[in-house]
């Protein structure tokens, strides 16, 4: 039972947050008259020593250390004597762990935001440099219409920008001070909760002590944010994995983010991207598992909530690592402009041919049917490309085709016609990149 109940192995990651929370708490105890100035100074010096031992790898864990809170208090008492027992006056591990965890999650969300920004800016910079590169766009993994490579990179940056906004919502929910709530009913010594919030740099304190000690909504928000980021990275990774195959040949990963086969010397495997894709499943499991842990709990604190740390620590670490690795992949991969351009085929301009008829006043549904006949006729002819059909063959299908129809078979013209906001024309993509950059600069 001692082993089953012990959370120090996981919780010691919060050693500095626990000491920071205690440092603020003893200031409030001093203000409340529980500690005199001399006692406060002794405790503060003791806390510095405990922190120094953790940071220098000299902290010695002992069998009775059930969690990080008892471990730190035990060591503080060893250093300064029975006075160490005063630091827990009016405080419960219930509000203490909530405080520690909020401090930890806040710090890692802020560093995660920077990792997201780094990747977004990397995508933007690459898109600007390679704005003129054309490639096939796909739906259902079937070639659909020509797009700019920069348009694809912009789509990645756009969804990651949404993830920054999700992070800000999670950060806002996290960044509230629970300390001073006691075990569930509040504090008996009129502790100054605003002082606690100010000392720990929380913009506000939480209002209901019953809710405070049992609330892990901020953990669920953080886990969902991690799932959203990892889902986007996984889909992006799948694109690049496919595009790096010999069948596509669009991109080539640098050696730093690839590995060879143990048997086949010609292989170059995209292990970095496969690992990112694979780890997404575990992060989804973290969210689902902890959601199930809390969904049926009665109000206030229950020991089931101890499952929070393993899930959220793993998610925060994995997302940060995945973002850093993906940034490395994007910044170092090379593209084969010729392969991308060579993969474009005139059948991808069938919609442009339909648009040609639309501009002549033909209803689009009729245009769709007519161009379907053109595609069928081209498939039955030698060569199979729709621009290989003669004007006579086009007019046999519909007399409204004129000699100018062949202007529709131009890839550059096709992408430039998509100049609406969000489109794949050069101006539209550059506008997207500028917009993303403005949003990101605000965080």
- pLDDT > 70? residue 280: yes
Instruction: State pTM to two decimals.
Output: 0.93
pLDDT greater than 90 at residue 297:
yes
Same domain, 58 and 111: no
225, part of any domain: yes
Same domain, 357 and 308: no
Q: Which of 384 and 334 is assigned the larger pLDDT?
A: 334
Evaluated on CA atoms 104, 110, 116, 118, the torsion sign reads: negative
**How sure is the predictor about 328, in pLDDT bands with cuts at 50, 70 and 90?**
very high
Q: How confident is the model at residue 2 (pLDDT cuts 50, 70, 90)?
A: confident
3-state helix, strand, coil in the chain (%, to 5): 70, 5, 25
Given this model, what pLDDT does residue 381 score?
Answer: 67
| Domain membership flag for residue 439 | no
- Expressed as residue numbers, the domain containing 412 is 346-421
Domain boundary among 294, 321, 342: 342
CATH code of residue 140? 1.20.200.10
Tell me the average pLDDT across 5-16. 89
261 assigned to active site: yes
Q: What integer pLDDT is reported at residue 415 of this predicted model?
A: 97
* Together in a domain, 132 and 216: yes
pLDDT at 259: 83
Of the listed ranges 19-28, 160-169, 368-377, 431-440, the least confidently predicted one is 368-377
For 180, residues 6+ apart whose C-beta sits below 8 A from its C-beta are 28, 95, 186, 187, 191, 193, 196, 205
The average pLDDT across 327-350 equals 96
| Model confidence pLDDT, tens digit, residues 82-97 | 999 999 999 999 999 9
Q: What sign for the dihedral angle of Cα 191, 192, 196, 202?
A: positive
Half-sphere exposure of 195 (CA within 13 A, CB side): 15
Listed residues 291, 322, 342: the one ending a domain: 342
* CATH at residue 352: 1.10.40.30
Q: Scan for tokens 């059930």, then name that residue.
A: 66
Measured CA to CA, the distance from residue 212 to residue 382 in angstroms comes to 74
Give 235-252 pLDDT, tens digit per residue.
Answer: 999 999 999 999 999 999
User: How high is the pLDDT of residue 9?
Assistant: 87
Question: Percent of the chain beyond pLDDT 90?
Answer: 91
Confidence of residue 384 (pLDDT cuts 50, 70, 90): confident
- Catalytic residue from among 261, 407, 413, 427: 261
Please state the rounded mean pLDDT for residues 187-215: 95
Q: Which residue in the list 140, 262, 334, 390 is annotated as catalytic? A: 140
Mark whether 236 and 301 lie in a shared domain: yes
Is residue 262 a part of any domain in this protein?
yes
Decide if pLDDT at 382 tops 90. Answer: no
**Percent of the residues in the chain that have a pLDDT greater than 70, as a whole number:** 98
Task: Verify that 77 and 119 share a domain, yes or no.
Answer: no
Lowest mean pLDDT among 106-115, 219-228, 389-398, 428-437: 389-398
In a domain, 442, yes or no: no
Q: What is the pLDDT of residue 68?
A: 94
Q: What is the mean pLDDT of residues 297-302?
A: 95
Q: What is the DSSP string of 302-339?
A: -GGGGGHHHHHHHHHHHHHHHHHHHHHHHHH-EE-HHH
243 and 226 inside one domain: yes
Q: Answer whether residue 172 is part of any domain.
A: yes
For residue 428, tell me if it sits in a domain: no
Average pLDDT taken over every residue of the chain: 94
**DSSP at 297:** P
Domain check: are 109 and 210 in the same one?
A: yes
The tally of domains found in the chain comes to 3
Residues 154 and 19 in one domain: no
Which among 89, 124, 147 is the end of a domain? 89
Residues 259 and 242 in one domain: yes
Question: 132-170 burial by CB neighbour count: b if 16+ within 10 A, else e?
Answer: ebbbbbeeeeebebbbbbbbbbbbbbbbbbebbebbeeb
- Is 431 contained in some domain? no
Q: What is the CATH number of the domain that holds 12?
A: 1.10.275.10
Query: With 90 as the cut, is the pLDDT of residue 263 above it?
Result: no
Residues 236 and 144 in one domain: yes
Which pLDDT score, from 0 to 100, does residue 380 have? 75
Would you say residue 64 has pLDDT above 90?
Answer: no
Whether residues 214 and 323 share a domain: the answer is yes
Residues 133 and 179 grouped into a single domain: yes
The mean per-residue pLDDT over the stretch 192-221 comes to 96
425 assigned to active site: no
Q: Which two tokens stand for residue 119?
A: 């990747």
Look at the alpha carbons of 249, 250, 254, 260 in this order and tell me if their dihedral is positive or negative: negative
On whether residue 21 sits in a domain, the answer given is yes
Question: Band of the pLDDT at 383, cuts 50, 70, 90?
Answer: low
């Amino acid at each position: 039972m001692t082993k089953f109940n012990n959370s120090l192995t996981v919780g010691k990651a919060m050693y500095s947050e626990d000491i920071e929370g205690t440092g603020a708490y003893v200031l409030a105890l001093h203000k409340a008259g529980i500690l005199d100035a001399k006692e406060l100074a002794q405790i503060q010096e003791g806390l510095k020593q405990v922190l120094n031992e953790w940071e220098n790898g000299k902290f010695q864990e002992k069998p009775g250390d059930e969690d990080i809170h008892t471990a730190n208090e035990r060591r503080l008492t060893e250093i300064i004597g029975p006075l160490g027992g005063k630091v827990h006056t009016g405080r419960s591990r219930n509000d203490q762990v909530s405080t520690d965890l909020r401090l930890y999650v806040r710090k890692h969300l802020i560093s995660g935001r920077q990792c997201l920004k780094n990747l977004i800016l990397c995508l933007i910079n690459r898109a600007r440099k390679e704005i003129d590169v054309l490639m096939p766009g796909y739906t259902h993994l079937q070639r659909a219409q020509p797009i700019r490579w920069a348009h694809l990179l912009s789509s990645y940056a756009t969804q990651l920008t949404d993830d920054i906004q999700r992070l800000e919502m999670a950060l806002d929910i996290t960044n509230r001070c629970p300390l001073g709530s006691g075990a569930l009913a509040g504090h008996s010594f009129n502790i100054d909760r605003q002082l606690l919030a100010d000392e720990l740099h929380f913009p506000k304190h939480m209002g209901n002590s019953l809710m405070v000690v049992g609330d892990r909504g901020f953990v669920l928000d953080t886990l969902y944010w991690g799932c959203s980021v990892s889902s986007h990275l996984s889909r992006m990774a799948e694109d690049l994995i496919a595009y790096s195959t010999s069948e596509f040949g669009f991109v080539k990963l640098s050696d730093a983010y690839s590995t060879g086969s143990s048997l086949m010397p010609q292989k170059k495997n995209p292990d970095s991207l496969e690992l990112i894709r694979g780890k997404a499943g575990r992060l989804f499991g973290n969210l689902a598992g902890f959601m199930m842990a809390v969904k049926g709990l009665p109000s206030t604190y229950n020991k089931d909530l101890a499952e929070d740390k393993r899930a959220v620590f793993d998610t925060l670490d994995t997302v940060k690592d995945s973002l850093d690795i993906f940034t490395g992949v994007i910044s170092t991969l090379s593209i084969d402009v010729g392969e991308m351009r060579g993969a474009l085929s005139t059948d991808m301009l069938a919609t442009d041919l339909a648009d040609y008829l639309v501009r002549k006043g033909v209803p689009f549904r009729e245009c769709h049917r007519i161009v379907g006949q053109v595609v069928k006729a081209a498939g039955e002819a030698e060569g199979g490309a729709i621009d290989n059909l003669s004007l006579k063959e086009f007019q046999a299908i519909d007399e409204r085709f004129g000699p100018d129809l062949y202007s529709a078979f131009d890839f550059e013209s096709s992408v430039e016609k998509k100049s609406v906001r969000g489109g794949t024309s050069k101006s539209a993509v550059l506008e997207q990149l500028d917009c993303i950059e403005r949003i990101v600069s605000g965080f």
